[in-house]
Amino acid sequence: MSPRPHVPTRTLPLPSGAGMPLLGFGTWTLRGELAVPAIRTALECGYRHVDTATMYRNEAEVGRALHESGVPRAEVFVTTKCPPSMAGRELETLQASLDRLGLDRVDLWLVHSPVRQGSTVDTWRAFVEARERGWARDIGVSNFEPALIDEVTEATGVTPAVNQIEWSPLLHRPSVVQAHRARGVVLEGYSGLRGGVLEHEVVTGIAADLERTPAQVVLRWHLQHDVVVIPRSTQRERIVANADLDGFELSQEQMAALDALGRA
């Protein structure tokens, strides 16, 4: 068995007082027999944050992996998401998610994307109610622009705790980071290893200098920006390597070179 990775344990504070681990394990496209062993491996090697969604159709597998891992429930931060197509049936959707996960609450429930057929504000009100009922410790959004975050906040008095958006060095915009920080919203990135970033010469050059993988460089870049990141893989070697992020640090020059890719 490979050595246990140096998994980062740092968290970001959420309104409930809970800490959201900066490193999570993504489960998009993981279904059926591929899902359970991958998620269980992630938990066994030290990940303590698992991200799923109703639309991923794998909540039951996530729940099974959580149970089989033997990791205490209190130690694992679980996120799921409500699809915009379920506008008007948000609480019913969350109850179904909890049943599939085998949990009495999730740590974070996200609006998966802005509601097109219906009212995003009404959906957010349902999310606030779910939090008040104790079905979700914290609530947030995904794929929202700052203006829409402001709209739901002004309508309800409740600011989304998190906004999950596509993010990588190739998409880096300081103004986006600043907009979230100004509102007290945690920025979470998905698809951080996609889009050609792992093949970019700046990334591969830094990886060679540090004797690390390109994926480790990109993931470490997220962590040093305090952006939550959720890599996904079915291969044990990559799952372990993607968690092995606390044994090195990117210099200011390396961070600046990666930041500049978003302006290239």
Q: Are 189 and 177 in contact (CB under 8 A)?
A: no
Set 44, 45, 51, 56: catalytic member: 56
Q: Which pairs count as long-range contacts for 171-174, CB under 8 Å and 24+ apart, including other chains?
A: 171/195, 171/262, 172/258, 172/259, 172/261, 172/262, 172/263, 173/262, 174/259
Element (H or E) spanning 138, and its range? strand 136-142
Cβ atoms of 43 and 69 closer than 8 Å? yes
The HSE-up count of residue 146 (CA atoms within 13 Å, CB side) is: 13
Q: Cα-atom radius of gyration of the chain, to the nearest Å?
A: 18
Residues in the chain: 264
As a whole number of angstroms, the distance between CA 163 and CA 137 comes to: 15
Which amino acid belongs to residue 149? Answer: I
Q: What is the DSSP letter of 4?
A: P
Determine whether 47 is an active site residue. Answer: no
Nearest to 13 by CA among 25, 5, 2, 21: 21
Active-site residue list: 56
